[in-house]
Amino acid sequence: MGRDRRPLKPEELQELRDRLLKRRDELWDEIRQDLFNRLGDEYQGVIQTIKDEEDLAKADLDSDTVIEVLKARKKELESIAQALWRMDRGEYGKCLECGRWIRFKRLQVAPWASYCRDCKAKLEQVGRV
């Protein structure tokens, strides 16, 4: 514990939101690239329009391929979506286990983190995360 367990400043929140959005964009770039590689030029036009899971569902691509491509990134995409959702509700930055503030330095490395480092370590030991 210490003085770095404190609420986030607005500019820190903004920085973390930018990081989350940037990471989400990177993941979708990877997904599009992966789809190209697997499905080929024939689908290029459709794949280019995909920006989120809704687009992906509408694109009507081979479902096994879609599932496989998403699978590798689904967990991270969900963590990002949840972090953004908590931000919008003003609940972002507190550990979901102990309720204390997560250090800004930790969030800079992993802005999708839901737990402080202590709790994460404890939860990992008992296999809850």
Where on the chain is the footprint of Zn ion (CB under 5 A)? 95, 97-98, 116, 119
71 versus 109: smaller Cβ distance to Zn ion: 109
8 versus 50: smaller Cβ distance to Zn ion: 8
**Considering the complex, what minimum distance in angstroms separates the CB of residue 35 from Zn ion?**
38
Which is it for the CA torsion 121, 123, 125, 129, positive or negative?
negative
Contact assessment for residue 77 and residue 51, using Cβ atoms and an 8 Å cutoff: no
CA distance 117 to 101: 11
CA distance 92 to 113: 10
CA distance 83 to 111: 8
**Considering the complex, what minimum distance in angstroms separates the CB of residue 94 from Zn ion?**
8
**Considering the complex, what minimum distance in angstroms separates the CB of residue 95 from Zn ion?**
3
Chain Cα centroid distance, residue 48: 21
35 versus 107: smaller Cβ distance to Zn ion: 107
**Considering the complex, what minimum distance in angstroms separates the CB of residue 98 from Zn ion?**
3
77 versus 119: smaller Cβ distance to Zn ion: 119
